[in-house]
A and B are shown apart, each in its own frame.
Chain A
């Protein structure tokens, strides 16, 4: 793994504007940044990222079964007891998953370590699947990147295949995001493009405009009944919303399925560590109130520890502590009221003054691609930059 300065495509801003990639700059800072790119060897991609992440997903599926069979673990997930059956039913019915993104700390030397699994509402899909791919093809054509190089990015094709695999042709799918968040909308539309390419009907509705019909089914902004809903909105928030009582009875299939609420949840990290202690891709993790477990694991936490709320987005309410001193504390504390977990601190590598996190994408049950974000700060937050990558020839 290396971080290599490269010439930018002279016309990339015009291309981004033309394609509707309106958030290539965000909060007055560049978000898409191709002044440099991360390079990997093929062995590294396959042996350190791809295969381990496919395995991690299989381990996560096993953990879902474990949690659902154990009330004390279900209790740890912070989800309303009224919805437990709904979650369990979706798992027992084998409702298929579509996508997720593992965030990994990887320094090019040791094994990649799982920081968390964005298994329910991962974003940056457009940047990863589409704009990053275009960057590679353009740079290959411009001979900035050599023949024989490649990119680990089968994301789009894999999504098309996945939709075709789990839905009959011409199934009508609804796609919903909260209004007014272009970065969320881009992920939803990228997903919809893939569904359409797979032969599905794709319809958009703002999440806030979803209604409920007399028969108790969800309806879109034009009063059409929603049979299948892709919702870029976290399960734990759906469960807290006014319509949550209708979720189980609305005869609606959801993507991601309800059981993903257990995996996007950081409470799954201590469960994984219990099930697979010492696994090379896992960091020692414990529930924050598990004083005995933490005391016994003190020797695993000598490099410091990170406290994270079980529900959190974009690094909010995360605190990193080492040698009894707070190294960094996220300024956004919106998730402070949630239960916490403690994870051994795995510093991100520093490359060109930046700290990259690898986002490894899982479609279905297989790792199919990656995208990187880098931040100056120790905690990767919403001001991080998206970076393209390539595989050396």
Chain B
């Protein structure tokens, strides 16, 4: 026989890769809001979260933001990543008197997600990105705009690593990206 006995058949899309291995990531209902008021206004039309969920998830997003937002050693570096006017000093560093300044992006809004199998709605803060759009603190999930609803992978709600109390990122630590791909002549580069 000159053919394979068995072959993997599917192309499942990028979610099939990596830590999730062969399983496609579970999707859930999600919504993004700039503030509690916008969330409350939308709660009526969306069956899966209440006005109360808007308040509790916002409080949670604020706390998670304080704990996991990326920290930078300069305002300039922070603004390079998150845009002009999008950064402020780290309040925790200021009160802790740890010496030196730390800067972090301001909270731009939050994600609210339906917990699979019931339970409290999930929360995740979002911060602005330089050049437009928004991202979760670890950059893993990106949004083009707030005041939007849709399906989202549940990993978008996983809490990122704690950055509060950690040394801020220097210019060198902010990974330089985008150094590949510039020379492609066509959209599809295969042959």
Contacts and interface: CB of A to CB of B under 8 A. Distances in A.
B7 A129 contact: yes
A319 interface: no
Contact of A203 (B1, B4, B18): B18
A151 B3 contact: yes
Nearest to A153: B3
Interface string B150-179: 000000000000000000000011011111
A203 B179 contact: no
A20 B180 contact: no
Nearest to B177: A211
Interface string B5-41: 1111111111011100110000000000000000000
Interface residues of B, number: 40
A233 B186 contact: no
Contact of A204 (B18, B172, B178): B18
A370 to B, nearest CB: 10
A208 B180 contact: yes
B117 interface: no
A186 B11 contact: yes
Given A203-B18, A233-B180, A314 B11 contact: no
A18 B140 CA distance: 27
A361 to B, nearest CB: 12
Contacts of A176: 180
Contacts of B186: 313-314, 316, 334
* Interface residues on chain A, size class: 35 or more
Contact of A234 (B21, B176, B189): B189
A392 interface: no
B177 A210 contact: yes
A83 B187 CA distance: 25
Given A45-B2, A130-B9, A153-B4, A204 B14 contact: yes
B17 A202 contact: yes
Contacts of A154: 2-4
A124 B191 CA distance: 8
A196 B20 CA distance: 12
A237 interface: yes
Given A151-B2, A189-B16, A241 B190 contact: no
Nearest to B188: A181
A98 B175 CA distance: 30
A238 B189 contact: no
B96 interface: no
Interface in A192-232: 192-194, 196-197, 202-204, 207-214, 219, 222-223, 232
B177 A209 contact: yes
Nearest to A133: B7
A151 B3 CA distance: 6
A133 B189 contact: no
A208 B182 CA distance: 8
22 contacts: A18-B10, A45-B2, A129-B7, A130-B7, A134-B7, A150-B1, A152-B2, A153-B2, A153-B3, A154-B4, A156-B4, A178-B184, A184-B190, A185-B11, A189-B16, A210-B180, A212-B179, A213-B175, A214-B172, A232-B189, A236-B183, A335-B185
Given A154-B2, A264-B191, 4 more contacts: A130-B8, A133-B4, A202-B18, A210-B180
